[in-house]
Amino acid sequence: MRIFAALVPPEAALADLGEFLEPRREAGPDLRWVDPSLWHVTLAFMADVPDRRVDDVAEAIAVAAAGREELALHLRGAGAFPHPGDARVLWTGVGGEPPALESLASLSRTVRLACNHAGASPEGGPFHPHLTVARSRRPFEATRWLRTLDVYDGPGWVAQDVTLFASQPGTRGRPRHYEPVAAMPLGGEA
C-alpha cells in the first residue's frame, strides 16, 4: 500500500490558492494541474507498506504528533523539481516565522523516524516543504512559470493535525485519489 503523512491546509487557504491559479492554468496546456482535493504538504511518503503495518504506522505518527505544537504557516512562492531548467513538478512553498519552519522540519524528521520504527521506510531526500500544483510527463523549462507563480502569498493558517493517507490508484478512467486513514492532532494525546 502507498501511504503518506501530510499536513492539509484548511479549505480557506486551499480556495485562495485555487483562485490564484485558476486564470493561469489555461497558459499551461502541457501541464497536468493537480486537483485541489489532493493538495497537501507531505511529511513522509512510504511507497510499499504491508496492510498489516498501517495501524502501527498511524499509532507511531500519533505519538510523534502528540509531542509537537500546532504550527502557524502559509503557502507562498513557487519552485520546481528537480530544478527549473528541467522541471517535472511545479509547487508552491510553505512559509511562516523561522521557529514555525524549524518546527515543521523537525516534525517531518520525527514523523519519518516514527514511520521507520513502525516498519514503513520513508522515501525521498531532504525535507522541502511544498504543495504540488502541477506535473508534466516531460521535462520543461519552468522559469516563466516560477516568475508567474512566485508572487503568490496566501493567507495564514494553523496546522493542527497530521493526516495519514492511503494513495489509491485510479480505476476505470478515474484518477488516483487519496483516502484519509487517520488524523492525529499536534500536541494532542497519542
Express each pLDDT in 71-105 by its tens digit.
999 999 999 999 999 999 999 999 999 999 999 99
- Considering the four listed CATH numbers 3.90.1140.10, 3.30.1220.10, 3.40.50.720, 3.40.50.300, the one that applies to the domain covering 2-185 is 3.90.1140.10
3-state secondary structure of 165: strand
Confidence of residue 27 (pLDDT cuts 50, 70, 90): low
Query: CA 149 to CA 143: how far, in whole Å?
Result: 10
Catalytic residue among 83, 117, 128, 130: 130
Q: How far is CA 9 from CA 6, 14, 28, 136, in A?
A: 10, 6, 25, 24
The pLDDT assigned to 171 comes to: 77
Evaluate if residue 133 carries a pLDDT over 60. Answer: yes
Is the CA virtual torsion 18, 28, 138, 146 positive or negative? negative
Does the annotation count 40 as an active-site position? Answer: yes
Tens-digit pLDDT profile for residues 62-80:
999 999 999 999 999 999 9
Q: Domain-by-domain residue ranges, the chain?
A: 2-185
Query: Does residue 49 surpass a pLDDT of 80?
Result: yes
128 catalytically annotated = no
